[in-house]
Structure formats: structure tokens, C-alpha cells
Amino acid sequence: MSAILQGYYKHPEGQDVFGKMLATNSMALGAGLIFSKYDILFITKPKGYVQTLGRCGYFCGPFMGMATAFTMTTYAANRLRGKDDTWNYILGACASAGVFGAWRRSFVLGCEAALYFSIVAAIKKLSINEGWEFFPHFDKHEYGHIRYLQNDFTLTEERPKAYITKN
């Protein structure tokens, strides 16, 4: 789990709302910058600094708005209901989908996003409750071709046990 997500889950749900806002908005800002740089380099190709910053704001603003809506709705639902369960995450996902629909100026996209975001939020909350990771961290990556399991292409492979150097 990344350090930013650890900042979100450092305190229980319903506590430290500003720390949770900082964690979700920093992730949203990073995603917004990645999407905006892709858009700037490959799609719109704006001319000048002002247009480039405008394209960055076009993605970073709504992404941070969705993160804020999710965090604040989840926090408010937890405080009002007094329960820490999956429904709080689903309500937060629906709020962030509303921001997405407003950003894209489409009610239908907002409703579809609410469905998809709710499914992802329910699975994420289930992973937290059951103790498994939504996106697990892999310690060893292998790169190669279709039969990559036969070969180890890592740089830090251990030597064979009966390794002898030639002089």
C-alpha cells in the first residue's frame, strides 16, 4: 500500500478528516497531472503557458473535486449514521460520481459512474474489512516474452548454490 493511502487509513473512519482530505486530494492531484500531461502532449497540444495551465486545471480540478466529495461524504455518513460499513463508501462514491457527471455535463455519465464507482468502493471497503489489498504489491517483477516463467530476467537474481568462478 502506498504511503499516501497509509495516510488515509492511519486513523479510523470518522476521524482526522483533514488528513484524509490531504491523502485523497494528493492522489487526485497526481492522477490529474498524469491525465493532463497525456492530454497536453498527445491530444490538444496547446500553444503557450496559459493554455497549458488551463488544460492542467481542466483535469486536476474535477479530480480533486471528486476526491473531496468522496472523503467528505464518507466522513459525514460515518458521523451521522454512527456506523463504519460499506454504505458510507457507496454514498461517497455516488457523490464523487455526481461531480464527474457535472464535469462531463452528462446526467447519464454521472449515473453510470455512480454504478461503477459504487462497485469499486464496495470492493475496496470489503478488502479493508477482510484484510486483503485491493492492488497488492509485487516484490519481484519479471520481464520477458511469452514463456517468461522459464527465464528470470531480473537484475538481482541469486547465484546458483554450486557456483564456481573460473580463474
Say what the alpha-carbon torsion angle 150, 153, 157, 160 is, to the nearest 10 degrees: 40
State pLDDT tens for residues 79-94. 999 999 999 999 999 9
| Res. 98: pLDDT tops 80 | yes
d(CA 6, CA 67) in angstroms, rounded, equals: 16
Reported pTM:
0.79
- Domain range list for the chain: 3-130
Task: Note the pLDDT of residue 100.
Answer: 98
Task: Note the pLDDT of residue 143.
Answer: 55
Q: Is 27 left (phi over 0), alpha (psi -120 to 50) or beta?
A: alpha
- Find the mean pLDDT for residues 49-71: 97
